[in-house]
Amino acid sequence: MRQGCANQTTHHIRTAPDTESQMNQVTLSAAAAAQIRQVVAAEPAGAGLRVAVEGGGCSGFQYDIAVAPAPKAEDVIIERDGARLFVDPLSLPFLDGSEVDWVEELIGAAFKVKNPNAKTSCGCGVSFSV
């Protein structure tokens, strides 16, 4: 996980979408919000889940999903039901219109990004191309 300067304290905060004007932003499913709350329960107050897009993977880009103790100064913060998702401004255009979900399948459980911008993705869903 990359570290950044935390000198600023201003953040852009978005809540769960309930209007058409927010439909193309990153959202959290109810299942993801519940799982984030559970995962960060033992973390310091203000912790959340960070989702970033990085170069790499078998399709060109990959998701980096990790617990973060606090948002960075430039992060957009998406909140739902008390859960917080942090997205850096460089990743935001790649994630526009995406939903972060918690999926439980026979092969395991994981956070999944349902990304309408992904033209192709690998079989595991961790990397994608635009």
How far is CA 72 from each of CA 12, 18, 52, rounded to the nearest angstrom? 11, 26, 12
Instruction: Quote the pLDDT of residue 96.
Output: 92
| pLDDT of 22 over the 80 cut | no
DSSP string of 39-105, one letter each residue: HTTTSPTT-EEEEEEEE-STTSEEEEEEEESS--TT-EEEEETTEEEEE-TTTHHHHTT-EEEEEEE
| Measured distance CA(119)–CA(29) in Å, rounded | 22
Topology given in CATH for the domain delimited by 12-129? Hypothetical Protein Aq_1857; Chain: A; (2.60.300)
| pLDDT of 126 over the 90 cut | no
Instruction: Quote the pLDDT of residue 117.
Output: 83
| Measured distance CA(98)–CA(58) in Å, rounded | 20
- 86-124 per-position pLDDT tens digit: 999 999 999 999 999 999 988 889 999 998 888 766 554
- 30-80 per-position pLDDT tens digit: 999 999 999 999 999 999 999 999 887 666 788 899 999 999 999 999 999
pTM to 2 decimal places: 0.75
* Residues paired with residue 5 on neighbouring β-strands, in sequence order: none
Q: Calculate mean pLDDT across residues 8-16.
A: 40
Where in the chain are the domains?
12-129
Instruction: Quote the pLDDT of residue 62.
Output: 87
| pLDDT of 12 over the 80 cut | no
More confident of the two residues 89 and 19: 89
